[in-house]
Amino acid sequence: MTTNQLITQIKKKQSFLCIGLDVDLNKIPQHLLEEEDPIFAFNKAIIDATHNLCVAYKPNTAFYEAYGIKGWQALEKTIHYLNENHPEIYTIADAKRGDIGNTSSMYAKAFFEDLGFDSVTVAPYMGKDSIEPFLAFKDKHTILLALTSNQGAFDFQTKRVDGIELYKQVLETSKNWKNSENLMYVVGATKAEYLADIRKIIPERFLLVPGVGAQGGNLQEVCKYGMSPDVGLLINSSRGIIYASQDKDFAQAAATKAEVLQKQMHEELKQLH
Amino acid sequence: MTTNQLITQIKKKQSFLCIGLDVDLNKIPQHLLEEEDPIFAFNKAIIDATHNLCVAYKPNTAFYEAYGIKGWQALEKTIHYLNENHPEIYTIADAKRGDIGNTSSMYAKAFFEDLGFDSVTVAPYMGKDSIEPFLAFKDKHTILLALTSNQGAFDFQTKRVDGIELYKQVLETSKNWKNSENLMYVVGATKAEYLADIRKIIPERFLLVPGVGAQGGNLQEVCKYGMSPDVGLLINSSRGIIYASQDKDFAQAAATKAEVLQKQMHEELKQLH
């Protein structure tokens, strides 16, 4: 999917919501455990109930790997279901990968070509040649960790490197990589006040913003400092939406939570006119 | 496996060789493609021929993920084969994972408990709470990327953070994490001259050293600057060993290459007496 197609979808749905499909069998409604594939059954119900309210889904691969082969089968079924039934939806493999060049190429091929995701999250620590193999894919996005939503972000990301914070160095340096127009960045909602500085370095790139809801981030603050003329934001919510209820009404309860965020986003989008 | 058990194995075999099982179907002998599971057939033959010459095997998960479900099945079969037939062998899942706390816990459970690896490689960018869930597992090691073997290591890892290089900051900071005695570190053989400085910060920890062979690193240099009184080194070689031949003699050819390194290691170990 191109960036313009994503922007068109955002304007049509009046939403820049991404729903994180982080499926934990201990947290889903227990009646689903009788299904042949409880993880996929859960995802399908969530997708069917929420796809008009969001523009993207983001399965975190850790939750699928934790269930071994069955987990990977559920991930494959989920991405195929999305691509077949909702091709307008943007898909993110939250994998946080990154390795030496020829190995990163294997990861890129797996997520972009074999699974058919529109984008994948990657970690910057190994530098340019660990990321450029992802960037080489046309009409795919590579979402680089910049400033994450967790407490550990302060261990290294905000430390000053040659006078400027490491996460800013990551932003600046990555702008010079080949096909850098295919980059997006992860910036945690819990650090919304950093967004004004970030926008000075990358005024146009899309930001994937986790941490709204369960982790305490605030949507209005994120929009105030982070919105670009072309929106430039994908706000992710996982637990706050998908675990809104553990009863048989779980999908409808998720849609209700998603709609609250979608309505707030509709309000925020007015500032672009 | 405990660190002491690993050291005992190294002294017994007079080897600190780790063989990287980075299986690419385009590079393995073509007669294996007729097998039901060519990846596992290749790994089993390599393991059968080399297990007396090395102390560890390291599958890089990217190579398995690239083949989807079949790849994961081959990875599962490989680790189960190792744990059942060669329980003395140390196993490393080269996955370079790392995520927020509850998600890192999912990865740790997947690699340590479900798959049964002795260790997993992780990336430091997200800081303490992304790594401590791995460190919580008893008799398992968490191998943190410090200074990698690729060119991109110079993009961020060697930049100065508050006056000292980022990779040194990673070493220093991680020493204070809970259960830090379960840490090992990745240090590329292509940067052997950095090892003297690294040993000043972490004199005792084991280092996993990739980049000998195909990437140009030198075994003698690594030992000169990196060996600790308890050896403290696992030297990895992947392509240089497993792709020594593409004919039916591939496993024997791999053993021959492994033996060359094992004999060099036997010489290097003499300096400990």
Q: What is the pLDDT along chain B (273 residues), one digit of tens a residue?
A: 999 999 999 999 999 999 999 999 999 999 999 999 999 999 999 999 999 999 999 999 999 999 999 999 999 999 999 999 999 999 999 999 999 999 999 999 999 999 999 999 999 999 999 999 999 999 999 999 999 999 999 999 999 988 899 999 999 999 999 999 999 999 998 888 899 999 999 999 999 999 887 666 789 999 999 999 999 999 999 999 999 999 999 999 999 999 999 999 999 999 887
Question: Is the CB of B127 less than 8 angstroms away from the CB of A68?
Answer: no
What is the C-alpha separation between A8 and A77, in angstroms, rounded? 26
Domain map of chain B by residue range? 3-214+228-266
Residues of A in contact with B100 (CB under 8 A): 148-150, 152
Report yes or no: B85 and A81 within 8 Å, Cβ to Cβ: no
Predicted ipTM of the assembly = 0.95
**CATH of the domain spanning B3-214+228-266:** 3.20.20.70
Note if B96 is an active site residue. yes
Nearest CA in chain A to B107: A62
Residues of A in contact with B161 (CB under 8 A): 156, 159-161, 166
Nearest by Cα to B53 from B270, B265, B197: B265
Residues of A in contact with B166 (CB under 8 A): 156, 159, 161, 166
Residues 6+ apart with CB under 8 A from B81: B40, B43, B44, B47
Pick the CATH number of A3-272 from 3.40.50.300, 3.40.50.920, 1.10.3720.10, 3.20.20.70: 3.20.20.70
To probe the interface with B, which of A106, A173, A180, A191 has the most B CB atoms within 10 Å? A106
Q: Is A212 left (phi over 0), alpha (psi -120 to 50) or beta?
A: beta
Determine which one of A96, A109, A128, A224 is catalytic. Answer: A96
Q: Is A177 left (phi over 0), alpha (psi -120 to 50) or beta?
A: beta
Model confidence pLDDT, tens digit, residues A197-222: 999 999 999 999 998 876 667 899 99
Q: Output the 3-class SS for chain A.
A: CCHHHHHHHHHHHCCCEEEECCCCCCCCCHHHHHCCCHHHHHHHHHHHHHCCCCCEEECEHHHHHCCHHHHHHHHHHHHHHHHHHCCCCEEEEEEEECCCHHHHHHHHHHHHHHCCCCEEEECCCCCHHHHHHHHCCCCCEEEEEEECCCCCHHHHCCCEECCEEHHHHHHHHHCCCCCHHHEEEEECHHHHHHHHHHHHHCCCCCEEECCECCCCECHHHHHHHHCECCECEEEEECHHHHCCCCCCCHHHHHHHHHHHHHHHHHHHHHHHC
